[in-house]
Amino acid sequence: MGMEEYGGGQEPEPEVLVVTTNDVPGYRVDKVIGEVFGLTVRSRHLGSQLGAGLKSLVGGELRGLTKTLVQTRNQAMERLVEQARARGANGVLMFRFDVSEAADVGTEVCAYGTAVVLVPE
């Protein structure tokens, strides 16, 4: 499993820093812009559903579905960062994901947090 296939996250020097914490060491919040989010809904294709059904009989990881969920989460995070940047933020605090079923046809992933302007202390 490669990081690029089954992982996510930001580059080492992101334009918009996204963290799960309330603050960032070495920085202070100069301005709170407000809530931002990125949302995407992905449907499951028939092949992955059949494969998952067969795999569930013997157990183990459902790699196709894992890959799809990683791609979906990464897309939601990219949309969150785009929205934060468009509103003038250079940081997002208290970043979270919310995942749910969307009308039995797919998976809804929402990435959300608080957009802020961070300045070095």
Q: DSSP readout, 31-69?
A: EEEEEEEEEEEEEPPHHHHHHHHHHHHH-S--HHHHHHH
CATH superfamily of the domain spanning 14-120: Hypothetical protein apc22750. Chain B (3.30.110.70)
**3-class secondary-structure state, position 118:** strand
Tell me: pLDDT of 1 over 60.
no
**Which residue in the block uniquely carries the two structure tokens 């992955």?**
48
Q: Pick 71 or 94 by higher pLDDT.
A: 94
User: In Å, what is the CA distance from 16 to each residue of 1, 20, 22, 75, 96?
Assistant: 27, 13, 15, 15, 15
**Residue-wise pLDDT tens digits, 77-116:** 999 999 999 999 999 999 999 988 877 777 889 999 999 9
| Amino acid occupying residue 108 | E
CA distance 31 to 88: 10
Q: Which residue has the tokens 């994901």?
A: 97
pLDDT at 56: 62
pTM above 0.75, yes or no: yes
pLDDT at 55: 53
Asked whether 4 and 77 are in contact (CB, 8 A), the reply is no
Residue-wise pLDDT tens digits, 16-54: 999 999 999 999 999 999 999 999 988 865 555 555 555
Write down the domain spans for the chain. Answer: 14-120
Taking residues 49-63, what's their average pLDDT?
62
